[in-house]
Structure 1
């Protein structure tokens, strides 16, 4: 059937392939709903490329997938040794693809975690190859790993997108008229979905069936009984079907398989058989009588075993469906271990879930499940699995493992912002473990409680617990625990005014040297965060770029998310609000359904910037942040959430409400450092609270509390914090200071703060008060400043940041900042999208 309304998409693919051949490398994301014609498009694109090397792989959604399944499928074809470790395998894949012109990976929405990581890896490095990745874009949850990966890929310069829409009514009419079908009725039934249209037109009956599934089943009904039974088994095997496996499972002769291809339900090529579309497979599978399903799965499992299959993921699926608990347990555990070895933690967790369904009384399985769930931020599941394991270990009289389960459940409560329960479990774990003497479990428990004490601002206790953990961990060679506790001790030292940086650097070095990626991620996050806490942005900048590259490269997503949240806060302090908001959106998308604690910082940053700009969406974010902060009980989060609310109330003129929030922040800051206490003290002063400042404050805050507003402003400006400087000048009250503050607020687009400054000027009797944001910015349809518009124009011309810097006589770093701000204001992820919007 003719491929209609796809000329533009085909032309784009051809152009991207030419660009790739020129050495650039391209990743093309082809998205659309099920049945919209993604495969048909890519097949049309690859036809006629006999002189080029095209490699085709696919993901299968029938069962929990085998990690890196698409890569294993093409390994022989590209000469790849798959027995090496994951990092070496990724590098080897990149080298092997240098001789491939076109790489196609279909149905990426079914990809396992390791395959998604591989796509990320290739997306940053491909040269000379065009990688075409198809996926369904309907039904992807905001926090789905693929959606997050697509967002990351979208920021790469070599990424392109093609979105396929359903066929128009005229196109459906053209297809309908070929077969004498009522075009209006066909369009009404299909909505222009090419697969549905094709199935209904191909059915060849006088009337139009009620659905495409009916059309598929009508064609299946014409098969001989033997071939129909083979078709049913094929539907249980998956979208792609190995003819040897199908023959072994059914005893079907070759002519029965030929009949399936002749029917048009399956297609065949050099790699085997496949259903023409997943929707066709589903139609056949869902029509199977339930009493036949288990026996068919058992036959497939037996055939896989006879053929010597090494695909434990597939065998675990068929074993469970066949109600063979012993086989399901055996293969699920093997599949889980293999997935974990490839860092495909979602698939590992799914397989351990399957193993637990087969045998729910083995606490070792529950321990493994809890760990894998912790790696994917699924903390409610961690708490449940750890509790079940604790009960079983206690019944078995194994105190060490009971204590470890308590520690794991405590970690879950921390991430779920249930601070009291977290502390109770952490202390209970130590109570169970200490009588049993030193061991790795006790070291872990000390290390975990040390972190909780540190986060509760009980720094002396934290440092003591960290050192006790180190004393146990070092002789055992537990470098992961050594790094973790050095990290905690470093933070505790800083909070007590002691030297901290060498200890944190050592924590990072130990983690990297011994390959403990997660601990390295934590060390990087705290190193960057503590530098930013002290507003040492110049030192922090290279740390961030090094840290985020490490976390992304090593798939340390939890700390990559934390780093981005910390970065958003730092950008906000430096007045780079648009960049901060872009990062906030990325982080909140990543953790939409995961750890509440990881959402607090981006919620706070997002809300305060919006409050300053007098935009919507402030209170929903602040309410969530405050609820999570109160739940976790950690002073740093309580202070941030409450001062965010205080500022929002103050900007809205609700001073008494702002004062109440500032005093709640003060209640939580008794043991905090000078930066946090100083922040609280200034807001107590701004809101008219009679509470005194506590202890020694960081210099800019101390100057402001002492009434030296000009000195405070200069200190903030020296640190690179324009909004804080403007707030300090606002406190001075004289007309020059107020006008200076008003100008800064205007440049930042802080409409609510502008309103406050203008009122202060009126109260001071000033005349000729500016009306609002600068005219040029206000007049620009996207809210761009004059300089940002200049940068956008040059981006649209195709200039690099270095070329733009030369043209405008700016530093490349300044241009980087302008480009990030432009992308944020335009709401786009790439320069190409910005250029199109500019046009």
Structure 2
């Protein structure tokens, strides 16, 4: 298995091992700080390759290995039957003999402790034969290179086939993956933020920090684990008293400090020793390091927290006051100055500098922090020169710019409470609209019509205002989402108001419901309205409205295939990034794109987009979308525990935001998980409940039919009568004969056909209907035409099963099985691959055999020889690409020939063409020898 966040690093180690498997010698130097995971990376990767290579592990020990010759290699020497006095040549010759039998991976861990004799042996091996299957992988701690090792490294790095891997700390997403592995489920995003800040992405410290934390926790406990504290503080205790005192001063500073500032602070605090040599001691001890900007900070940020926490409150206030005094004369960082005044308990200057710093900073998140600091100090001021309302307005603006929905909503609700409704009705109306939009975008509410209706009422006395136009547009949108037909005329009114008010800000809020109204009534122009809303919202940087416009662009498209939707969401993310939108908005777009990529079968890109989505806090809606997609992907690929973890996190979000997230695919994923767990009864319960609810149910009829078919098969397998199950199925299909589309969006025709065909085929499977094979064939072809590879792989498997039930149709099974195997392999769908392999073994079919064309009937007049040849491959289940490759033609040429055959036969598509050819073949009289006397 790949360690969290280490896919590329694992690939580098595997590449070195791959050279050995290919008979080429290769060396990899893995360098990184203590606790970054060097040993774990190499160990896990070597275990993954254990079936191809022989791994020999040699470890170095502190102090001992540096003084005892060849100590790191003694275990290897004993394995080789060589004595301690072995020569370099003898050791190298033994490696030659070993690699002649099987590729060898020689791992030398913690090379910084190796003695000179061991280094000499390793240098000789690295410089030796290049035509043997030997991978030498060496780990060494960054910053621990002494003069002896530095010279050795310089010599080695000049040699051919020597590569170096610098193992960095994990990024935030990698830290999240690591915590998920420890918890057995995805952690809260806020907890990931806190852990990553505390540990800086060091995997060892992360493991110590979260080992005993409740997996459902949203914040870290106040106390730190003893083992973690000991691990972090150990090198600090070994320094001189002066170095320990100086590092305490740095810790109170709260972030990296320049040398000049440290000198000033130390002087103010009466620090007696020269700063530079003491600072050098801390760096050489590995306690501190210099940043790229020339500032000094702790190698492990947790140490700063520990040292600061060990101070008495009086000590801490005194040191903060000294920082403030030193910085006041040269306030190059006024935010820092404000922080130190506040922590020194000096309220008036802390408030004044917080406001100045907030006005001066460009970062929205930092500005938000400073304004909130000012708000917390405001009640303790004697004569504040700014009102609480103005402070909350500044907080609201900063939160909106930072994309922090909860903080934005908190400020909006505070302002609504503070504003008298009779004094500033337009401002109040705008805030009420903002509250409704935020609550829906965060998943707190669904289309809360009453909140928006109240905003319309407040602004109604000002019909020409932009605020009234905004409120009307948002009300129309909510009414349409709620299924209220009165939303259609109101959308037209909203557009009139928006165009009349003279402010472009109101237009997107009116164009979006107008697009949905046109979709609902079948009028043209819905896509153009959504696109226009997109462009205006992008230009005005109305990011929340922009996302709504992107969703509308997908939802109102006449044939929004997964590839179309994925492309739209990708464009939306790129547009947001180009406009400088907060990452939370971009992450939400990436989450939706990942969902479509999964449907397309592009699971590697799906995983990459999920990593972007979960690499920051995407908000409740984006988080839920990403978790559901990650759960479904893991389930389809057989990682049930991982899938359950992602779904559990999504369920937690849903528990808080149920009314606002009910439109998401929770029940579809829950049903998929039930199938993965072998529980079709649960899948049926979920599907029927959704069908009876009557909303967002396109996929639920095929799921319910599949669940009942699985139960019917289980009854037969166990010698039970499936009559009860078949009765439930008959009732299901009586109530739901056709797939029910979502009224709020356009379901592409080809997808609806595929779902309907799947439901019909599952119904036939349950009843052992003689038409089952024909129906599975039609379902598989429909899935192919709709571009649904997961569904096609499943239906091809069922097609092969059905074909094998009748000796007359056996010949169809190998090609269906082959196509299913190819798709399942590409999709890494391990559960389905297992089922396919079982079927292939029982039927004695080789699923990897290439497609052989079927001879079509001669009863289709007017076909050329080439067209008949292509038709034969179509009957065998070949794709355009496969046919083109087999006949050495382009896919475009194949498409032209098939179009000609459609015209000649009067069929509408390749599915109908293949079905016609199959019927003609099956209708031909067969000579079975029965007339021979």
Q: Provide the TM-score with structure 2 as the length reference.
A: 0.51
CA distance in 1, matches of 2:571, 2:783: 26
Contact 1:31–1:136 (8 Å) recurs in 2: no
Of residues 365, 368, 380, the one that matches 1:346 is 365
How much does 1:357 deviate? 0.5
2:609 is equivalent to residue 583 of structure 1 = yes
CA distance in 2, matches of 1:392, 1:465: 31
Of residues 749, 752, 756, the one that matches 1:699 is 749
Q: Give CA-to-partner distance per residue, 1:206-232, whole Å, 9 cap, x none.
A: xxxxxxxx6634689xxxxxxxxxx96
CA distance in 2, matches of 1:598, 1:492: 26
Of residues 316, 324, 332, the one that matches 2:338 is 316
2:649 is equivalent to residue 596 of structure 1 = no
2:734 is equivalent to residue 659 of structure 1 = no
Contact 1:678–1:698 (8 Å) recurs in 2: no
Question: SS at the partner of 1:336?
Answer: helix
How much does 1:452 deviate? 3.8
Q: Which residue in the other structure is 2:351 paired with?
A: 329
2:220 is equivalent to residue 216 of structure 1 = no
Q: Which residue in the other structure is 2:868 paired with?
A: none
Contact 1:596–1:628 (8 Å) recurs in 2: yes
CA distance in 2, matches of 1:554, 1:720: 33
Q: Which residue in the other structure is 2:384 paired with?
A: none
CA distance in 2, matches of 1:353, 1:599: 26
When residues 522 and 502 of structure 1 are mapped into structure 2, their CA distance, relative to the original with a 3 A threshold, is same
Contact 2:320–2:344 (8 Å) recurs in 1: yes
How much does 1:503 deviate? 1.8
Output aligned runs, 1:48-447, within 5 Å: 142=176, 197=235, 202-203=239-240, 216-217=243-244, 236=253, 239-241=256-258, 243=260, 259-261=274-276, 263-264=278-279, 277=298, 290-291=313-314, 294=317, 297=320, 301=324, 304=327, 306-307=329-330, 309=331, 311-339=333-361, 342=362, 344-359=363-378, 362-374=388-400, 376=402, 378-394=404-420, 398-419=424-445, 424-435=450-461, 437-447=463-473
Contact 1:614–1:752 (8 Å) recurs in 2: yes
Q: How many residues get paired?
A: 588
CA distance in 2, matches of 1:286, 1:323: 17
CA distance in 1, matches of 2:603, 2:296: 50
Question: SS at the partner of 1:419?
Answer: coil
Of residues 545, 556, 572, the one that matches 2:598 is 572
Output aligned runs, 1:523-534, within 5 Å: 523-524=549-550, 526-527=552-553, 534=560
Contact 1:466–1:488 (8 Å) recurs in 2: yes
Q: Which residue in the other structure is 1:616 paired with?
A: 640
Q: Which residue in the other structure is 1:718 paired with?
A: 785
When residues 136 and 757 of structure 1 are mapped into structure 2, their CA distance, relative to the original with a 3 A threshold, is closer
Q: Give CA-to-partner distance per residue, 1:706-753, whole Å, 9 cap, x none.
A: 776544433331232222334556677741677666444433243444
Q: Over alpha carbons, which structure has the higher Rg?
A: 2
CA distance in 2, matches of 1:139, 1:530: 34
Of residues 624, 627, 631, the one that matches 1:607 is 631
2:843 is equivalent to residue 768 of structure 1 = yes
Q: Give CA-to-partner distance per residue, 1:506-546, whole Å, 9 cap, x none.
A: 22332344455665555445535766972162x55654554
Q: Give CA-to-partner distance per residue, 1:629-683, whole Å, 9 cap, x none.
A: 586567985462212223343455544322221122224445xxxxx55433433
When residues 544 and 419 of structure 1 are mapped into structure 2, their CA distance, relative to the original with a 3 A threshold, is closer
CA distance in 2, matches of 1:336, 1:654: 56
How much does 1:277 deviate? 4.8
When residues 496 and 739 of structure 1 are mapped into structure 2, their CA distance, relative to the original with a 3 A threshold, is farther
CA distance in 1, matches of 2:615, 2:172: 17
2:706 is equivalent to residue 682 of structure 1 = no
Q: Give CA-to-partner distance per residue, 1:310-361, whole Å, 9 cap, x none.
A: 643123213322444444334333433444xx4x332222122212212267
CA distance in 2, matches of 1:728, 1:546: 33
Q: Give CA-to-partner distance per residue, 1:30-74, whole Å, 9 cap, x none.
A: 9757999xxxxxxxxxxxxxxxxxxxxxxxxxxxxxxxxxxxxxx
Q: Which runs of 5 or more structure 1 residues have no equivalent in the other structure?
A: 1-8, 13-28, 37-131, 152-160, 167-187, 204-213, 221-230, 671-675, 777-805, 812-839
Question: SS at the partner of 1:331?
Answer: helix
Question: SS at the partner of 1:662?
Answer: helix
Contact 2:601–2:789 (8 Å) recurs in 1: yes
Q: Which residue in the other structure is 1:750 paired with?
A: 829
Q: Give CA-to-partner distance per residue, 1:250-269, whole Å, 9 cap, x none.
A: 7799xx88844465489999
CA distance in 2, matches of 1:610, 1:347: 37
When residues 681 and 629 of structure 1 are mapped into structure 2, their CA distance, relative to the original with a 3 A threshold, is farther
Q: Which residue in the other structure is 1:109 paired with?
A: none
Question: SS at the partner of 2:460?
Answer: helix
CA distance in 2, matches of 1:609, 1:515: 34
Contact 1:403–1:429 (8 Å) recurs in 2: yes
Q: Give CA-to-partner distance per residue, 1:371-406, whole Å, 9 cap, x none.
A: 434555544444443333322224895444444444
Q: Which residue in the other structure is 1:826 paired with?
A: none
Of residues 535, 554, 568, the one that matches 2:561 is 535
Structure with the greater relative contact order (CA < 8 A, sep ≥ 6): 1 or 2? Answer: 1
Contact 1:525–1:547 (8 Å) recurs in 2: no
CA distance in 2, matches of 1:264, 1:393: 54
CA distance in 1, matches of 2:749, 2:690: 20
Of residues 498, 523, 534, the one that matches 1:508 is 534
When residues 508 and 291 of structure 1 are mapped into structure 2, their CA distance, relative to the original with a 3 A threshold, is same
CA distance in 1, matches of 2:611, 2:265: 51
CA distance in 1, matches of 2:245, 2:481: 65
Q: Provide the TM-score with structure 1 as the length reference.
A: 0.56
Q: Which runs of 5 or more structure 2 residues have no equivalent in the other structure?
A: 1-8, 13-29, 38-165, 177-187, 206-226, 284-288, 380-386, 709-728, 742-746, 762-774, 804-808, 851-884, 891-933
